Chain A
Amino acid sequence: MALLEVKDLKVRVEEREILHGLTLTVNEGEVHAIMGPNGSGKSTLSHVIAGKPGYEVTDGQILFKGEDLLEMAPEERAAKGVFLAFQYPVEIPGVATMTFLRTALNAQRKARGESEYSTPDFLKKVREVSKSLNIPQDMLKRGVNVGFSGGEKKRNEVLQMALFEPSLCILDEMDSGLDIDALRIAADGVNALRSPERAMVVITHYQRLLNYIVPDVVHVMSRGRVVKSGGKELALELEASGYAQFEAA
């Protein structure tokens, strides 16, 4: 079943059109990679799906589980199961990671009409997940992402993904700023979350990440459109030939 349907999406930032009619369908259980050169609109697509302000959708639609995503506030999208792992997770001094995680999880559950987690149940859940991601407990006591290394920030994103159990995960340039060991830990965390009900959209500039998170479908974006789609071998092909052939088009 189609989880995410992006149809002929046109998006402007200020007066400039960034996406010129983008179409993309992601089914449950699939992992899609979106590759493309800088400025092709990859991050814009991820921001528009998550509901970041500052983007004007001039045409097209985004359906999530058949519902119009563009009508929803960012927090409603999160509660419905959309999760964006940020390329640059923000630091929030003064808000303890643990407080943030519990507040966010319970806000999502409340929005869905589910019971909120009690503190002991929540702590147990966080401990389990953070252990598997190699996140030390003292990191959770610190301000959200405050003083975290690039790798720690990305692991914190994966931790949230594991806690919130979204049905659609969008990973925006997860590999940026990570060394190979940090990348492997984060990718292992993501792979552990692959399931028949959950879909993932992995946005990346480089093929490297796809060695660790192996996609079912690879899309090439250029100038605000998907210009080619194929299997995982497409990523290798791009690695060899580069994006130039698509940019010329």
Chain B
Amino acid sequence: MNVAVAKTGSGRAVSDLFASAEGRLPGSPGVTAVRREAFETYERLGLPHRRIEEWKYTDLRALMGEVLPLAATPDAAALKRAVEAVKAHAIAGARKLVLVDGVFAADLSDVKPLVAEASFKTLRETLARDAGLLKTASTDAVIALNAALATDGVVLSIADGAQLSAPIQIIHVATAASASAFTRSQVTVGKGARATLVESFVAAGAAAYQVNDAVIISVGDDADVAHIRLMDDAPDAVNITSQFVTVGANTKLNFFNMTTGAAVSRLQGFITLAGEGTELSVNGVNLLKKTEHGDTTLVVDHAVPNCVSREIFRAVIDDRAHSVFQGRIIVRPDAQKTDGKMMTRALLLSDEAEADNKPELEIFADDVSCGHGATAGALDDSLLFYLKARGLPEKQAQALLIQAFVGEAIEQIADDGLREHVIGIAERWLERRQ
């Protein structure tokens, strides 16, 4: 029998991760049991690696090595640093909910105006009574680890028919270097409600930290939701985010993700269309440089008939960066008249840049319209020459063409202000190249 204690590269025992964190993890005794079970699952599986099909292109054992110890509860100095980061990344007019190193920071948040329009609790508060939020039907090791170690998160509920007057922005701020933050949030949007949710991931001076976030979203019938995720973590950070989204009937859900940070990142989204007549739009842009690795993995599950899904992804990959797009569209046997399309394009700015596109269609119904397309290529030399012949220096000519390239995905953001905000992030990324 092998009795050796599993250890990570740095010699830390894997079990220590949970043992050292346990005293800080919120929840009733029932919650603790759920956490323990989840951690055992993680211990058994370990970090995902390339022999696990879903993680083929993102081998976390190689890319991240080990899971860092839990970040300390932020002290006054950490909160002060977070204030500046929040200021820099806040969307004008949005109601902010701020998580610092995985812990909700009430003083940095706009709880008061928010609760006038939506109900709000922290994950910590919720777990005092109920472990339900830690349970997800997933066998993924990073999700199990999230359930085991989630310290906090936001639990939002938007009532039936509510028309939110301002976007809600969840801002994750990292202030602790070489540590991990585990967060789990839930957003429930009622029937006929209208809401805009923005999630931002930023650093306040911290380096080499790890983020593991899970978001459970449920959108009712006849709703209209815009969801924007802006991942701008520190250049040496790791960000692994899992989203579970269920959408009702006759609803519009428009999601956009922008990745401009982190050494290693993965957004894995599992979206189930559970009500007929719904229009789903899932779009994203990866802007990667140096040795960054950015993975977007999406599963759109058409469980019912008569839904439309559209996915537009653009990756701009410079230096030796690596972009991964895995998109699966599942059409269940009953989901007739499904209209599902997915288009992903990668722009390689250097000879050493890498793009992996893996579209998959799993269609079990016979009256559907589904399609996917994937391209990868360099900037068009004839366009570059035209711009240079008109006086634009190389990098500026490239910038103009790159903006046009990502524009097609960014254009899907309906709100003018948010779209301009996202364009601004892309412009600053391009300026840093010049």
- Name the contact of A74 in the complex, choosing from B388, B400, B404, B408 (C-beta under 8 A): B388
Complex CA distance for A57 and B286, rounded to whole angstroms: 40
Complex CA distance for A93 and B404, rounded to whole angstroms: 7
Complex CA distance for A52 and B383, rounded to whole angstroms: 11
Give the residues in chain B near A92, CB-CB below 8 Å: 383, 386-387, 400-401, 404
- Name the contact of B385 in the complex, choosing from A53, A94, A108 (C-beta under 8 A): A53
Please tell me if the beta carbons of B388 and A95 are within 8 angstroms of each other in the complex.
no
Cβ of B44 within 8 Å of any chain A Cβ, yes or no, is no
> Nearest Cβ distance between residue B395 and chain A, in whole angstroms?
10
Cβ of A104 within 8 Å of any chain B Cβ, yes or no, is yes
Give the residues in chain B near A103, CB-CB below 8 Å: 392, 396, 400
Please tell me if the beta carbons of A95 and B391 are within 8 angstroms of each other in the complex.
no
Cβ of A73 within 8 Å of any chain B Cβ, yes or no, is yes
Q: A53-B381, A90-B382, A100-B400 are in contact. Are A78 and B405 (CB under 8 A)?
A: no
> Nearest Cβ distance between residue A192 and chain B, in whole angstroms?
20
Give the residues in chain B near A105, CB-CB below 8 Å: 391
Complex CA distance for A86 and B382, rounded to whole angstroms: 11
If over half of A's interface residues share one DSSP class (helix, strand or loop), that class is named, otherwise mixed; here it is helix
Give the residues in chain A near B383, CB-CB below 8 Å: 90, 92
Which residue of the partner chain A has the closest CB to B382? Answer: A90
Q: A53-B381, A74-B385, A89-B386 are in contact. Are A94 and B408 (CB under 8 A)?
A: yes
Please tell me if the beta carbons of B390 and A160 are within 8 angstroms of each other in the complex.
yes
Complex CA distance for A52 and B407, rounded to whole angstroms: 27
Give the residues in chain B near A99, CB-CB below 8 Å: 400
Cβ of A50 within 8 Å of any chain B Cβ, yes or no, is yes
Which residue of the partner chain B has the closest CB to A99? Answer: B400
Please tell me if the beta carbons of B404 and A52 are within 8 angstroms of each other in the complex.
no
- Name the contact of A73 in the complex, choosing from B388, B403, B407 (C-beta under 8 A): B388
Cβ of B393 within 8 Å of any chain A Cβ, yes or no, is yes
Cβ of B389 within 8 Å of any chain A Cβ, yes or no, is yes
Cβ of A51 within 8 Å of any chain B Cβ, yes or no, is yes
Complex CA distance for A84 and B385, rounded to whole angstroms: 11
Q: 10 closest pairs, A vs B, by CB?
A: A94-B404, A108-B391, A78-B391, A104-B390, A74-B388, A107-B391, A94-B407, A90-B386, A95-B404, A75-B388
Interface pairs (8), CB distance under 8 Å: A51-B389, A73-B393, A75-B388, A78-B389, A94-B405, A107-B393, A107-B396, A111-B391
